[in-house]
Amino acid sequence: MRTDVAARGPEGSAFARASSRGARHFVLGVLGVLVLGIVWQIGTWYLVSQPETRAFGNFGPIPTFQAFPRLWEQGRIQSAINASLVDRLATGLFIAALIGIPLGILVGRSKWFREISHSPFQFIRMISPLAWMPLAVLVFPGWNWAIVYLIVIAAVWPVTYATAAGLAKLEPAWYKVARNLGASRIQILKEIVLPAIAFDMFSGLRLALGVAWIVLVPAELLGVTSGLGYAIKDARETVDYSYLTAMVLTIGVIGFLLDSIFVALINRYSWYHRRTAS
Amino acid sequence: MKEHDASKHEDGRLTFVPDDRDIANGRHTECSCVELMGNLPPDDPNIADGEPDPKLKADYDPQDPSSGLLALTGAGAGIERRSFLKAGLVTGLTAMMPQAWAQKPKDEVVRVGYIPITDAAALLIAHDQGMYKKNGLDAVRPELHRGWTPLVEAFQAHRHNIAHMLNPIPIWMRYNNKFPIKITAWDHTNGSACVVGRHTGATSFKDFGGMQVAVPWWYSNHNIILQVFLRDAGITPVIRPQEAKLAPNECNLLVLAPPDMPPAIAARKIDAYIVAEPFNSLGELKAGAKVLRFTGDFWKGHPCCVVVMHEADVEDPGRRAWTQAVTDAVVEAQIWIAENRKEAALRLSRDGGNYLPFPFEVIDRAMNFYDPAYYSNPPAIKHLEWAQSRINMQAWPYPSATRFVADELRRVVLTGDKTFLNNLETDFIIKDLVNYDFIRKSLEKNPRWRKDLSVPQTGNPYDRKEVFRI
Amino acid sequence: MSAVPAVAEPTGAVWLDFLKKWARIGGTKIFNFVAGLAILVALWWLGVWYITLDPALEHFRSFAPNRAIFEGIPAMWEFGGIQRGLGASGYRLGMGMLIAIAIGVPLGILVGRSELFGDMTHLPFQLLRMVSPLSWEPIAVIAFATWDRAIIFLIVMGAVWPVMFATAAGIAKIDPAWFKVARNLGAKRLHVLTQVILPAVTYDVLTGIRLAVGVAWIVLIPAEFFGTRAGIGYTIEDARENLFYDQMMGMIVLIGVIGYILDTILVQLLNRANWVRET
């Protein structure tokens, strides 16, 4: 229902319609966030009105926004983002892609591999990343690598299976045509396979990002002293709830921005010029 | 936001100067109250600034707009207190305000919260051996949390009315977060040790240069004691990422959950750790670690975990009987444990009442195994004459110990914001944080508590000088 | 294979034929299933063996598969850790998933069908989605009377998003012409919902549920750090604190098995619901 009728229209009106739709989209989005903020404030009022839960008043939006300048000054936000995003999340996702995409191609192309790997992959996939923690502590030389491992082991599955799904959509006829035209295997990979699976690959990476975010917070319970997950832990330990909600908001915003990048990539490579619904 | 000159408050009290952090946290309202009402000095020097006066029937809460009406009419908490109560204005308003907690029905059931370490023994045995019942109390089975964070949160949400916490945690909760918590007794003494990995070959704290050491929590007596040892050995504690370079006289600290410490030391991720039992026993038994020093052998009869309760239960006259009964039960449990050590270990373990998920051997070792011959290299027990054990059950919260902890907290290295300590007088903390009435009465009823040698055997048993022997 | 002549053949050859046919179709799948798992177990054993070559790590040999399966699982069964844990956690997971579906599907339909609602909620939902379920823990403690409900809340906060977004994506795939046709044929809104929308989105909803189950598993273990008395996470933590790694890995094996069964059921449902040509 939100399929792009505009995309099929003439150039000029498409742009006009797209930009007015974009503006409307933006305004409604802001409205939605405002509604969220109001709900948040109502919840806080309720918390504060009960004597039992008054101590949790700092969860509210006002203390949270007041906490931001303080935290920024102390450099805590920047260092947490740096430690989590750059060192751990990016590395973890990169390795997950590095392992997941070739694995996905294998799963998609080779029936034998798909069947042999089905049971062990499904099995490992079901193990909560946190159950890996004692093993990770034992095996990896540093805390950062243990955390990266936890992210990889959670994020590699969406990438693998999405890539495999993308491969399954390829028409076998295309391989025939390519081979008839004299394409080498590399050329087939570059010109046919990769563009075709790009959409699903990015969908998989997007899912992987989502899972990685969820895992990051408990993963940073390991012996590190920096990072967004550590900040959440620190905030809970020191019962500083405005700090907690400020960091939660930060995570939410960053996560949203990263996710939007992936959505843009997905739409760019989408065959049907269809806007992703979410 | 104007600068609030807090020096107008009478001394002997918290000289509270709200700084930017307080404003950021929305805790500037003490200022706005004062601005509204003029600089009225508070009535009761024993009540901390910003604390809801339990004698006041209604509170002004900065986040609740409806209570702004109260503030305007001058019934705000933290400043007005009894002067307005006397005026009777509040009584009328009480009927209107839903948050008048004095009207809330009180919970008579004892709800204990704990984490699975031997420190919790007294609170658990009091349930297991029926001391709560003997004192006329209904008690549900104590609830286990896997870490200080869930326990603190559950306590704050009033899921528990009694818990044990690391000694510095209530200091933080009460003075930084303004949560009305009170220490009512010591949960136990000693019960911790510092262990080193076999791979380090360390025989004293002087060898700690360049090592990675784990503590269970920044706000713990473990952290404090460790840093005292380090300072004495000329090592500087720092907090850096794992790969960072360390000078030869620096030692890197980090926080780990106690169950992660034995595997981390076996895998050489850390070189030493200091923690409560039974994780030292587990480190010895399963991770090849060696006990370097028992903390009770350095600081005679030191507190580690304390018994905490909500201020409401402690201050409200209607609750006095309940609080006294609970404290009596805990003291009786402590004496029972001191006199029935093996059976206590059995009842606590998974082979008994399953309060702590460890087998009997581990708990028994953690509580009772204190053989100087076994621990001779490195010498972890140097002061046999103190006649302490791996854990002791002494409940009187010596002010001198609280003084030491409060003073040390100011200079201990940790992450987090310690500025709230700058404006606190240690004398004030000693008087304000701990309630001595109930525990004193319990101890007077049970004189056998004096058998522990960390209690002065001559003179006044309720006052001592802290003994440290490195 | 050559056709079997009408003349009576020795019985053995008939049986051999039958076995060969069966082995080719059914057996290969089972063989692959077992072979795959066997390779995994072998790699697992090798990994533990290699890591624990260091004598200081001798105690950690309990991570090995043989210890986990033959020592860990029986030990836990004996003291009831498995039964109680599965019962308690199963209840929480089940309730959590049910509530996540009950909230996620209608919300997803709303987001998909109503452009206004979708645009308004896009940003807030994306923000909320990124909040790690574990950051909700302090709120869970305050808001819910029992630990079970707090844990279920945490699971829902993790699992509702995949379900909702998958449902919305499924709605977006529906050809708008169908709604026109349904309206022209006089369908009421309820009919449109039950006859057009739900069958069309079933595939995507099931995909979303599959993802949500994965997230729920991740959240369950740290969620059970609170004051419960039984659960999978609880049993794992007990084992972990004791350094009983054979029991811990045994529990992990069980989780893997259960998760696998659950996922297989979902996939079967998926294949039934898949009216598009292929997956």
Nearest to A117 among C36, C218, C264 (CB): C36
> Within an 8 Å CB–CB cutoff, is residue C221 touching chain A?
yes
Whether C167 and C221 share a structural domain: yes
Percent pLDDT > 90 in chain B is: 30
Residues C42 and C125 in one domain: no
Cα gap C49→B193, rounded to integer Å: 32
Residues C110 and C18 in one domain: no
Query: Is A57 in contact with B63 (Cβ distance < 8 A)?
Result: yes
Can you give the residue ranges of every domain in chain B?
Answer: 6-103, 105-470
Across all residues in chain C, what is the average pLDDT? 81
- CB–CB of C227 and B113 under 8 A? yes
Residues facing residue B181 across a β-bridge: B310
Poorest-confidence range of B230-234, B269-273, B278-282, B410-414?
B410-414
CB contact under 8 A, C63 and A35: no
Same domain? C46 vs C145: no
Instruction: Using an 8 Å CB-CB cutoff, list chain B residues near A222.
Output: 256, 260
Q: What are the structure tokens assigned to C174, written together?
A: 């529906």
Do the chains contact at B286 and C59, CB–CB below 8 Å? yes
What is the domain extent for residue C203? 67-273
Please tell me which of the candidates C137, C227, C237 has its beta carbon nearest to residue B143. Answer: C227
Of A55, A69, A138, the CB nearest to B177: A55
- C-alpha to C-alpha distance for B463 and A264, rounded to whole angstroms: 70
The ipTM (two decimal places) reads 0.76
Q: Is B242 within 8 Å of A144 when comparing Cβ atoms?
A: yes
Nearest to B94 by CA among B53, B69, B50, B59: B59
CATH of the domain at C71: 1.10.3720.10
pLDDT at B27: 44
Confidence of residue B6 (pLDDT cuts 50, 70, 90): very low
Strand-pair partners of B290: B196
Is B357 within 8 Å of C241 when comparing Cβ atoms?
Answer: yes
Contact B145 C226 (CB under 8 A): yes
C4 part of a folded domain: no
Q: Nearest C-alpha of chain A: how many angstroms from B263?
A: 6
Q: Which band of pLDDT confidence, cut at 50, 70 and 90, is reported for residue C11? A: low
* C240-273: pLDDT as tens digits: 888 888 888 888 888 888 888 888 888 888 777 6
Contacts of B266 in chain C (CB under 8 A): 56-57, 59-60
Find chain A residues with C-beta within 8 A of B179's C-beta: 55, 239
C30 and C158 inside one domain: no
Is residue C74 domain-shared with residue C202, that is, in the same domain? yes
Residue B38 is predicted with a pLDDT of 37
Residues 51-90 of B with CB under 8 A from A: 61-65
Tally of structural domains, chain C: 2
B217 with A67: Cβ contact below 8 A:
no
Interface test with B, best of C52, C226, C229 (most B CBs within 10 A): C226
Residue A113 C-alpha, separation from nearest chain C C-alpha, in angstroms: 9
For A90-104, B29-43, B267-281, B420-434, which range has the lowest pLDDT when averaged over its residues?
B29-43
What end-to-end distance do the CA atoms of chain C give, in Å? 32
Provide the CB-side half-sphere exposure for C254 (13 A, CA). Answer: 26
* Prior bond of B278 cis (ω within 30°): yes
- Widest distance between CA atoms in chain B: 71
CB distance C226–B357 less than 8 Å? no
User: C32, A116: Cβ pair inside 8 Å?
Assistant: yes
pLDDT band at C160 (very low <50, low <70, confident <90, very high): very high
CATH for A60-269 is 1.10.3720.10
Q: Do residue A56 and residue C279 have CB atoms under 8 angstroms apart?
A: no
pLDDT score for A252: 84
List, for residues B440-460, the tens digit of each pLDDT value. 999 888 888 888 888 888 888
Q: Do B350 and C79 touch (CB under 8 A)?
A: yes
What is the per-residue pLDDT for B16?
A: 42
Q: Same structural domain for residues C16 and C152? A: no
Same domain for C46 and C135:
no
- CA atoms of A70 and C32, how far apart (whole Å): 58
Task: Tell me the average pLDDT of chain B.
Answer: 78
Q: Is the pLDDT of residue B439 over 50?
A: yes
Domain ranges of chain A: 1-57, 60-269
Query: Tens digit of pLDDT for each residue in B182-225?
Result: 999 999 998 899 999 988 888 888 899 989 999 998 889 999 99
Contacts of C201 (CB under 8 A, 6+ apart): C105, C108, C109, C167, C170, C171, C174
Judgement on whether residues C123 and C22 belong to the same structural domain of the protein:
no
| CA distance to partner chain A, nearest, from residue C33 (Å) | 6
Q: What is the chain C residue with the closest CA to B115?
A: C227
pTM for the whole thing? 0.76
- Look at C229 and B144 and tell me if their CB atoms are within 8 Å: yes
Chain C residues with beta carbon closer than 8 angstroms to that of B159: 141, 227
**Which residue in B147, B262, B357 is closest to C238 by CB distance?**
B357
In the prediction, which pLDDT does A225 show? 76
User: Phi/psi of residue B303, each to 5°?
Assistant: -80, 150
Do the beta carbons of residue B159 and residue A246 sit within 8 Å?
no
Q: What is the pLDDT along chain A (278 residues), one digit of tens a residue?
A: 444 444 444 455 666 666 777 777 778 888 888 888 888 888 888 878 877 677 777 788 888 888 888 878 777 788 888 877 777 889 999 999 999 988 988 888 888 888 888 888 888 887 877 778 777 877 787 788 888 999 999 899 889 988 888 887 777 788 788 888 888 878 877 777 777 778 788 888 888 888 888 888 888 877 677 888 888 888 887 777 888 888 888 888 888 888 888 888 877 776 654 444 44
Q: Which CATH class is domain B105-470?
A: alpha beta
- Residue B127 has what DSSP assignment? H
Confidence (pLDDT) at A12: 53
Nearest CA in chain B to C239: B357
**Which among A247, A232, A242, A243 is positioned nearest to A57, based on CA atoms?**
A242
Residue A202, min C-alpha distance to chain B (Å): 33
* Averaged pLDDT, B2-23: 42
Q: Please tell me which residue, B432 or C275, carries the higher pLDDT value.
A: B432
Q: Is B422 on the interface with A (CB under 8 A)?
A: no
Of C142, C238, C243, which is closest to B262 when you measure between CB atoms? C243
Confidence of residue B331 (pLDDT cuts 50, 70, 90): very high
Q: Please check the confidence at residue B60 and state whether its pLDDT lies above 50.
A: no
